[in-house]
Amino acid sequence: MPKILVLNGPNLNLLGQREPEVYGRATLADVEALCRDTGARLGVEVECRQSNHEGVLLDALHEAGRAVKTGELLGVVLNPGAYTHTSVALFDAIKGAEVPVIEVHVSNVHAREPFRHHSYVSPAAAGIVVGFGVDGYRLAIEGLVRQRRA
């Protein structure tokens, strides 16, 4: 069965408690269940990981790139959290590992503080889903599956 990695960056472990007026009340466990259910419906296995550490995210992207090349993985749904706006290293990892990535954000980052309007990840991403709450993960998984099967 093909596989997708859902990779969540810093502070996403606080979903449901951090600024619920912005991010909603769903927890990371709720998001992971949504992702696995979406994958099951589409015939793909979904693995979920979260880290507050940039290097761990980089290592996961490098590993994902190798798995894509061997046919074990379709790609990555990535919510880089605050690293979206600061990490050239994530951009370099996505490009260097040649891993298909769909960038996802729970909130509409373009309707928020100006520093959130720029993403270092977006130019390397195969697609972007922004502002649909946690349902954006479902949309990102569906989009990645469609892209990779096309």
State the catalytic residue, choosing from 23, 83, 120, 137: 23
Give me the mean pLDDT over the 14-29 stretch. 89
Q: Is 107 annotated as a binding residue?
A: yes
Catalytic status, residue 53:
no
What value does the mean pLDDT take over residues 97-108?
96
Q: Is the pLDDT of residue 22 over 80?
A: no
Percent of the chain with pLDDT over 70: 100
The rounded percent of the chain whose pLDDT value lies above 90 is 85
The answer to the question of whether 62 is labelled as a binding residue is no
pLDDT given at position 57: 98
Q: Is the pTM of this model over 0.75?
A: yes
Tens digits of residue pLDDT in 35-63: 999 999 999 999 999 999 999 999 999 99
State the catalytic residue, choosing from 53, 62, 83, 105: 105
Answer yes or no: is pLDDT of 95 > 90. Answer: yes
| Residue 41: alpha-carbon gap to chain centroid | 19
Is 92 assigned a ligand-binding role in the annotation? yes
pLDDT number for residue 107: 87
User: 15: which DSSP letter?
Assistant: T
Strands (E), the chain: 3-8, 45-50, 75-79, 101-105, 127-130
| Domains annotated on the chain, with CATH | 3-148 (3.40.50.9100)
Looking at residue 21, its pLDDT comes to 80
Angle between helices 135-149 and 28-42 (to 10 degrees): 30
Is 52 a known ligand-binding residue? no
What pLDDT does residue 23 have? Answer: 80
Q: Is the model's pLDDT at 111 over the cut of 80?
A: no
pLDDT range class, residue 118, cuts 50, 70, 90: confident
**Residue 149 pLDDT > 90:** no
Note if 137 is an active site residue: no
Backbone angles phi, psi at 121, to 5 degrees: -85, -40
